[in-house]
Amino acid sequence: MPVSMRPISGPSPGLELAAGDPAGAIAFRAGQAITRAQFRADVHATAAVLPDVCHAIGLCEDRYRFLVGLCAAALRGQVTLLPASRVEVVVAEVQARYAPTYRLGDADIRLSEADPAGQPAPPIRVDADAMAVIGFTSGSTGTPQPQAKTWAAFAWSSVSNHAALSDLWSSAMASVRPQIVATVPAQHMYGMELSVLLPLLAGAAVHGGRPLFPQDVARALEAVGPPRLLVTTPVHLRALLESRIALPALGGIVSATAPLSRELARDAEQRFSCELRELFGSTETCVIAQRRTATDASWTPYPGVHLQPAAEGALVSGPHLPAPVALADRIEVDGDGRFRLLGRQADLLEIAGKRASLGDLNRRLLSIPGVLDGAMLQLDPAGPAGIGRIAAVVVAPQLDDQTLLAALRALVDPVFLPRPLLRVAALPRNETGKLTRSALLALLRDGMHSAGL
């Protein structure tokens, strides 16, 4: 059910969440389909018992309960806060910053029993110009920063995402809404857009869990019907391919949160017999572009979105943004409006007159057979006039240091060979597969200390 679009500014009509056929499914949970009528009842039951304050911290692990809590808070005129992490110290900082607020977890959601003979719950209506959530940037390039989103901006995002992905499944099912299984949390903006807002604002249905292991992903996909849309990340996608597990027929795969190599995209399309779309966006902008990575190097912006190169990256404007947003990503815009990513300004390296980017170095590292995961980074300079060394943290249980360095020597200039090179059992990725510089530096420090270096 498309949402009628309107300018972000100006008078605001009410926006209905989870509109559509009351008997239609909005979610699948514990092997059962949950209707939109049942969802509305759960939202109103939960809203009736929420504290009377301005903000709620959305901490539900169960995706269906998260949907209920988000809408219940909205009915009470509350803004849901989405911390960059659910680690206690991060949540406590957000709670103190936005006091008075409360934590909204799985145990706080009221799930009512459906009563077919009873009075149906009223629709869920919100002010489209009202603030829906405050998300926070990941902190991968600095301190997490708050980003406020209105329901009107989310409505634009949902329509745009659905339009960008609806051609993934066959033309015979073009009018059918996707059945979503997501390996990313609802609290992350990518997870919010694809697994929360599509059900609330574009008629999709979503599996209530967040499966991580390949066998769990397969079971979740079996529990929903076609067309199945798998919303995932490169890390989870690589794990699915390496497991060689069989999946039910997919309408398509969506990937975001980290760069996806063309090789991995092609392998996924061949193995699972469907197209894979990579989405580009940020917490600041939401998703703004897409590409079929297996065949396309350039990104296609969503309708109305424009990107232009800027001094430190790119400037993004769009109908859902009240003002242009500056991103750290360097771009090259094609004549047709599509664009290529050239890496981030902070990722550019220059050592001994040679130039490279961390993104390209990481791509080459991950291309080595036997490397399951890895990341390279430049350490801080040892002195005022020094140049930071390149270091690498690698998951490659079948390879030794000499073999790894020999393979890298054939792929990169010798000045960019990592010293030190630390082999570990796993990288400190967060739940969306991202790595922060601070986590990598801590891992290197501990690893070097353990090795007596």
Question: Contact at 8 Å (CB) between 302 and 289?
Answer: yes
Count of CB atoms situated within 10 Å of the CB of 248 = 14
State yes or no: pLDDT of 210 exceeds 70: yes
For 212-222, how does the pLDDT look when each residue is reduced to its tens digit (9 = 90+)? 899 999 999 99
CATH number at residue 80: 3.40.50.12780
Domains held by the chain: number? 2
Average pLDDT of every residue of the chain:
88
Q: Is residue 9 part of a domain?
A: no
For residues 257 and 378, state if they share a domain: no
Six-digit token string for 39: 């969802």
- The last residue of one of the domains, among 262, 296, 330, is 296
110 and 208 in a single domain? The answer is yes
Q: Which of 296, 315, 332 is the last residue of a domain?
A: 296
Q: Position 302: which residue type?
A: Y
d(CA 446, CA 452): 10
Three-class secondary structure assignment of 85-151: CCCHHHHHHHHHHCCCEEEECHHHCCCCCCCCCCCCCCCEEEECCCEEEEEECCCCCCCCCEEEEEH
Within a 10 A sphere around the Cβ of 234, how many other Cβ atoms?
21
What's the CATH number where 417 sits?
3.30.300.30
> Which of the four pLDDT bands, split at 50, 70 and 90, describes residue 196?
very high
Residues 37 and 168 reside in one and the same domain? yes
> Could you give the CA distance from residue 434 to residue 235 in angstroms, rounded to a whole number?
9
Residue type, 267: D
9 pLDDT above the threshold of 50: no
Instruction: Say if 184 falls within a structural domain.
Output: yes
Paired tokens of 367: 């291309």
Percent of the chain with pLDDT over 90: 63
Q: Which domain holds residue 371?
A: 352-450
Residue 10: per-residue pLDDT: 37
Q: Is the pLDDT of residue 202 over 80?
A: yes
User: Is the whole model's pTM more than 0.85, yes or no?
Assistant: no
Q: What is the pLDDT of residues 304-350, one digit of tens each?
A: 999 999 878 899 999 999 999 999 888 999 989 899 998 877 777 77
Q: Is 358 found in the same domain as 287?
A: no
- Report residue 272 as tokens: 């699972």
Show which of 249, 275, 296 is a domain's final residue: 296
Residue 414: how many other CB atoms lie within 10 Å: 9
Residue bearing the bigger pLDDT, 257 or 18 = 18
Cα dist. 281→141, 347, 387 in Å?
15, 18, 32
Question: In terms of domains, do 57 and 190 share one?
Answer: yes
